[in-house]
Structure 1
Amino acid sequence: MDRRTFLATTGVAGVTGLVAAAGTLPAAAAARGRLVRSPDELQTAIGHAVPGSVITVADGTYELTAPIAVTGKRGTCDEPIVVRAESVGGVVLTGAQSFVLSASSDVTISGFAFCGQTSTFDVPPDCKRIRLTRNDFQLADVEGLHWVMIRGDQTEFDHNEIHGKSTLGIYLGVEGAGADQMAAGVRIHHNYFRDHSFPGDNGGEPIRLGVSPRALSTAGAVVELNLFERANGDPEAISVKSSGNTIRHNTIRDSLGGIVLRHGNGTRVEGNYLLSGQNGIRIYGNDHLVVNNYLERISGSGVVLGSGNVRDHYPGEPPKSRTGNDAPDRVRIALNTVLDCGSAVTGESHRTLPPLECAVTDNLLVADNGQLVNMPLQDGITWSGNIHWGQGADGNAPAAGFTRADPLLAAGPDGVRRLTAGSPAIDAASRSYPEVATDLDGDHRTGRAADIGADEYSPRHAKYRPLTSTDVGPHAR
């Protein structure tokens, strides 16, 4: 590591605001700092850090010959310890390894560009409330290397960009302690995942929430407001292999990958945009809610309600059984808009265990080609209130479960096709949804009944829309 100038400050008020800003520290904070003129002095500054300390690294490129240890450092929720670049992206770290965390909590690492590291950036289980924000990750393009692994509770991963992998290995994984636990309360938001070009058919996920032995562990992760573009390393852009998660308001565009509930139970998939890709939303496991999603021009199926080779996963299950597909039970697919996909809603027949007590209700399905519905195993599914439109065939949708009517859609400035005045979808839902307070746009579901599809008709400006690269990543507001 070549010699650069570092600035360490302690006891600076308003740390959260400092981290969020793209520029340098305010003058008052800088005036209270001290210069650190070598890597050893930087390590010493970290060693002396206390709650509220802010350590700022001067802009430059640094080749690390040894990792930067953050050991036994404990900030507080109100006064985290912050290690930050002088300007966002202005500090480039090269070398085999960057920061190594252990036995620490309430630590923020912000604004760095991690380039070419051959070791995973790890947040271990003995760390809590670690925040990685406004960083750029482009680690070594090494076969089998996972770039970031979160195993500590309440980690926040936000406003990062992670890109440029062509080999086997995931961008961001969430696991936990031991062999079967998940980190609790992880939040992943406003990140830009792009350009994973691994040509294999498995193992290049941008986000993987768990693995099969951890399927029954309740993670409670929230994955929201992230953008995925050209995520082509795996059919699963967001791969869920744990329980109790929330996947909402993400945009997946021009990608092989979709959202897949592969293992686990009780996950909510809400208000996501899947646009011009190859895979939509695929579902296994129990008690999921898939609601308010907008899928357009998916070359495969918009929504797949899977079948299983096991009925339910259970504690103590043999490893081989745990890797099997859990047939869906009590899954609700409701109030989604699926437009111009290869098929709108489909199932599977290559596994023998069918869905049970599932419901496909009040969805808006439109296409001019192919089949809207192809569900080979229907005995365990209830259908009601769906609207079909276009030249696409109805397929084997039960006649009592849909109406053919023009939903009167019109594209807005963001390209999203929403209901217009007089649409037969307005106030027409077949059942009530007390657990669904808002629609795709963030508008309240109002009226005597919800509107069919992801959009609740409203003249108001949409709170949510498909994300672009200016909405996410290190330089987003």
Structure 2
Amino acid sequence: MKRRTFILTAAGAALALTASPVAAQAVGPRAAGLPARPGRGPYTFVSDLAALQTAIDTAKEGATIVVTDGTYAVPEGSPIRLTGVGGRWNKHLTITAESVGGVTFTGAQSFVFDAAHHVTISGFVFTQSTTFELPASCQAITLSRNEFVLADIEGLHNVMVRADDTVIEYNHFHGKSTLGIYLGIEGGQPTDMAQNVRIHHNHFSDHTFPGDNGGEPIRLGVSPRALSSAHAIVEYNLFERCNGDPEAISVKSSDNTVRYNTIRDSLGGIVLRHGNRTRIESNHILNGQNGIRIYGNDHVIVNNVLAGIAGSGVVIGCGTVRDHYEGEPSSSRTKNDAADRIRIVLNSLVDVGGGIVGETARPLEPHDCVIVDNLVVSDRGSLALVPKSLGFTWAGNILWGAAADGDLPATGFTRVDPQLVTDAAGVPRIGAGSPAVNAATQDHSATVTDDIDGRRRIGVADVGAHEVSSAHACRAPLTAADAGPLAP
């Protein structure tokens, strides 16, 4: 991976090169010539693992430990321990590579955490053969600008988070061909979820596990934790060639936000497998196999663009149970919960194998879903087909293409050419002359303030994910330049 130099001045470079291999050398930030971004002083340079451990054990609040570039073999049974150490909310203990991607840790383990708090780990390449764990005894750990290319071992998960207030940012997860996930979020006790985890600007790529389950890039919970509110935010992440599972983002907990992500050229989509009250907003799913699939209650699906999807765009799930509940048998908790009171509004589905569709294989139909002001254009499958439903509201949807309309009521749609144009990023969108402009049939202002590009929706909204406006777009589909260790 291309490296970005952490130390910018000759003085800083000289200090790094002359740091003692046994005793760490502490200097002030001006003497080191270090930018403020990687961490705060005092700065300590280390060039072997013994010095790194000593620096961690004696670090003062807000210190930055810089590991000089190179490959470090971590001995079996002697990992780098962070036990009871850390900073505070505005003065993290920062452990960083001299340059982004310049330090590689080999061996079975690297950092091992216990009761650590307010620690940032930045700029490293991890190749270990065991899972990188953030246990529930920790809090406010940040993993930033690292590369996770762990040993390709069957069943090995790359990173498992159980600590509250964790931040996973600007990392690259890649290179797995076997069963196992890139990033899992769980909790300390069997039904708990880590609270307030934020996952942003990461690049997930090249998972080639050929199975049909167990290779998710992000798994946000597991079935026993479905009713636990995690309040996680998953945003601005890029997924490319993620083919290890039909679920690129698998949500199995409650009260989360999944927004502004781009999934491209992948088997995986976004799946609300277990849990309630999650918001899926302003994501791009492009040229892949699966779109958005929904189980559970009271979710909001808004402003998403799904284009070039081989399978169905949005799937509203039937259930083998009506609702999950506290104390239910474990055999029940793993079953599908029928999708009830789902709000699906202002989405654009173009060139999909099926538009907004419902399942038929399970006995319990979804109830009371609102499907309003969406744009569905395709020549394949059916544009809107939900054979099993009760109490649905359909209104204001625009349908077009050679695909059959489906079974939505005649009052729930207009068949008219929305005059789509594909932009430079490969995204189909409406133009100023489209009949979708100012055509929304409901007032969404209480719950939707902008479109997928970040342009404000003023007055009557345009149907679909895009609002025609002269305002500057502050979001776009992500590329490899926008996420991962070297992103700005």
- Measured against the shorter chain, the TM-score band is over 0.9
Q: Distance in 2 between matches of 1:404 and 1:132?
A: 49
1:291 to 302, 306, 310: 302
1:39 to 46, 49, 61: 49
User: Contact 2:48 / 2:72 at 8 angstroms: preserved in 1?
Assistant: no
Q: Verify: 1:72 aligned to 2:84, yes or no.
A: yes
User: Contact 2:418 / 2:434 at 8 angstroms: preserved in 1?
Assistant: yes
User: Contact 1:4 / 1:60 at 8 angstroms: preserved in 2?
Assistant: no
Superposition map of 1:146-161 within 5 A: 146-161=157-172
Secondary structure of residue in 1 paired with 2:57: helix
**Comparing 4-13 with 282-291, which one deviates more in the overlay?**
4-13
Task: Decide whether aligned partners of structure 1 residues 102 and 403 sit closer, same or farther in structure 2, where only a CA change above 3 A counts.
Answer: same
Q: Give every structure 1 segment of 4 or more consecutive aligned residues whose post-TM-superposition deviation is greater than 3 Å.
A: 3-13, 17-21, 32-38
Q: Distance in 2 between matches of 1:41 and 1:351?
A: 59
Secondary structure of residue in 2 paired with 1:247: strand
User: How big is the shift at 1:417?
Assistant: 2.0
Q: Distance in 1 between matches of 2:174 and 2:456?
A: 36
Equivalent residue, structure 2, for 1:107: 119
User: How big is the shift at 1:305?
Assistant: 0.4
Task: Decide whether aligned partners of structure 1 residues 429 and 46 sit closer, same or farther in structure 2, where only a CA change above 3 A counts.
Answer: same
Equivalent residue, structure 2, for 1:428: 439
Equivalent residue, structure 1, for 2:210: 199
2:253 to 224, 242, 261: 242
Superposition map of 1:65-144 within 5 A: 65=75, 66-115=78-127, 117-144=128-155
2:69 to 53, 59, 66: 59
1:444 to 456, 478, 485: 456
Equivalent residue, structure 1, for 2:370: 359
User: Contact 1:12 / 1:53 at 8 angstroms: preserved in 2?
Assistant: no
Matched residue type, 1:199: P
1:419 to 416, 430, 434: 430
Secondary structure of residue in 2 paired with 1:213: helix
Matched residue type, 1:84: T
Matched residue type, 1:342: G
**Comparing 348-357 with 392-401, which one deviates more in the overlay?**
392-401
User: Contact 2:44 / 2:55 at 8 angstroms: preserved in 1?
Assistant: no
Q: Distance in 2 between matches of 1:413 and 1:164?
A: 29
User: Contact 2:185 / 2:221 at 8 angstroms: preserved in 1?
Assistant: yes
1:300 to 311, 328, 341: 311
Matched residue type, 1:461: H
Superposition map of 1:227-238 within 5 A: 227-238=238-249
User: How big is the shift at 1:289?
Assistant: 0.1
Q: Distance in 1 between matches of 2:424 and 2:479?
A: 13
Equivalent residue, structure 2, for 1:320: 331
User: Contact 2:307 / 2:428 at 8 angstroms: preserved in 1?
Assistant: no
Secondary structure of residue in 2 paired with 1:41: helix
Task: Decide whether aligned partners of structure 1 residues 366 and 330 sit closer, same or farther in structure 2, where only a CA change above 3 A counts.
Answer: same
Q: Distance in 2 between matches of 1:35 and 1:148?
A: 27
User: How big is the shift at 1:34?
Assistant: 5.2
Q: Verify: 1:211 aligned to 2:227, yes or no.
A: no
Task: Decide whether aligned partners of structure 1 residues 398 and 11 sit closer, same or farther in structure 2, where only a CA change above 3 A counts.
Answer: farther
Q: Distance in 2 between matches of 1:299 and 1:397?
A: 22
User: How big is the shift at 1:110?
Assistant: 0.1
1:377-427 deviation digits (Å, cap 9, x = unpaired) = 133321110000122211222211100111122222222222211221111
Q: Distance in 1 between matches of 2:112 and 2:103?
A: 17
User: Contact 1:441 / 1:455 at 8 angstroms: preserved in 2?
Assistant: yes
* TM-score in terms of structure 2 length: 0.92
Identity %: 57
Secondary structure of residue in 1 paired with 2:479: coil
Give the count of matched residue pairs.
Answer: 463
User: How big is the shift at 1:4?
Assistant: 5.5
Q: Distance in 2 between matches of 1:355 and 1:41?
A: 59
Superposition map of 1:166-181 within 5 A: 166-181=177-192
User: How big is the shift at 1:215?
Assistant: 0.3
User: How big is the shift at 1:473?
Assistant: 0.3
1:318-349 deviation digits (Å, cap 9, x = unpaired) = 00000010001110111000000001111001
Tell me the C-alpha RMSD between the 2 structures: 1.8
Q: Distance in 1 between matches of 2:114 and 2:184?
A: 18
Secondary structure of residue in 2 paired with 1:297: strand
Task: Decide whether aligned partners of structure 1 residues 35 and 379 sit closer, same or farther in structure 2, where only a CA change above 3 A counts.
Answer: closer
Unaligned runs of 5+ in 2: 1-19
Q: Verify: 1:396 aligned to 2:407, yes or no.
A: yes
1:295-320 deviation digits (Å, cap 9, x = unpaired) = 00100000000100000111001000
User: Contact 1:189 / 1:224 at 8 angstroms: preserved in 2?
Assistant: yes
User: How big is the shift at 1:73?
Assistant: 0.6
Q: Distance in 1 between matches of 2:141 and 2:209?
A: 29
Superposition map of 1:262-301 within 5 A: 262-301=273-312
